[in-house]
Amino acid sequence: MTPWQPLTQHFQRSQQRSSGKNQSLTALKRFVSLFLVGITLSLAIVSCQQGTPTNSATTPGGGTPAANKGKVELTLVSFAVTKAAHEAIIPKFIEQWQKEKGQTVSFNQSYGGSGSQTRAVIDGLEADIVHLALALDTAKIEKAGLIQPGWEKEVPNEGIVSKSVGAIVTREGNPKNIKTWEDLGKDGVKLITADPKTSGVARWNFLALWGSVLKTGGDDTKALDFTTKVYKNVPILTKDAREATDVFFKQGQGDALINYENEIILAGQKGEKPTYTIPDVNVSIDNPIAVVDKNVDKHGTREVAEAFVKFLYTPEAQREFAKAGFRPVDATVAAEAEFVQKYPAVKTLFTAQDLGGWGDIQKKFFDDGAAFDKIQGSIKR
């Protein structure tokens, strides 16, 4: 039965009972009145239904953005070695946001190899913010349609929020007398490093080795020869920088470890006593941070996500990065006496752009069948 059938039947019965013109008109008036009442009620029902929230745009916590004005949840996806820094910075931001906006912020945090984290976000991990080891990874997320092009122009320092350099860690007393990148290619040296296929730090390590030849007068042929010698000395490729550190320190494997300077400093803060060298020829390891546009718009978290990214560039946050081993990108923090002493200047510092930029670097070194795969294919383990 349709909503209008009872009204129609009433009208028909009224007509049958009506014997005169006036009675018919009276019945018609009654029908029209009931018809208008029915329309009014139907519109009211539709209006109520349209005003009822649905779950089509829920936040990670399960509610809609409008329903969570007093609290908001952010998902931060980052590469492994930033964990200590973020865990120090996040409470400061939460406190500031509460004071400024009266809103409680909570964070979901995920840490792992930069390459693995990048794939996870592309495959559906709904990060609001990504802090990754290299610009190549943010470029992949942008290419997947999750980050809007030109994002790096809307934030300070073109999106680079933390940086480091490559370090060579040796055993106590440095029994193999390892002081330079060149020493890592010597016979009898066992080196621990991560896998460039899964780890951002490992790609930086590779570039440090390759670039050290180019920046001291060598060419690509000499760089390939040297880098091959070094990787022949690698008994195991770990999945990320943190695992490489554990293999070297906790498992006692290897004579040397290549890792971020910040990871080695952090190991010292945790009770290790690392002996390490910062080579005079080195690569500037630049780490970008970006808001994942598609996800923040879905979650209704753009305002707070952008505010968190902005907060990471403040002196307060940059000091926490510096305490955790990262070289500050804020010049005033970098010039503070504590950090000038902690982070000595590097004589020859080159960047990814000096090697052609990450687009060319990926094709030349890390794509399937490129230089790294050829090196690995030539090594008999």
Cα torsion angle, 346, 224, 113, 116, sign: positive
209-233: per-residue pLDDT in tens?
999 999 999 999 999 999 999 999 9
Identify the band that residue 68 occupies on the pLDDT scale cut at 50, 70 and 90.
low
Look at residues 278, 253, 252, 254 and name the one whose alpha carbon lies nearest to residue 264.
278
| CB-based contact 262:326 (threshold 8 Å) | yes
Tokens representing residue 199 in the block: 């780890």
More confident residue, 340 or 4: 340
Identify the band that residue 30 occupies on the pLDDT scale cut at 50, 70 and 90.
low
Query: Following DSSP, what letter does each residue of 238-253 receive, concatenated?
Result: ESSHHHHHHHHHTS--
User: What's the rounded mean pLDDT across residues 323-352?
Assistant: 95
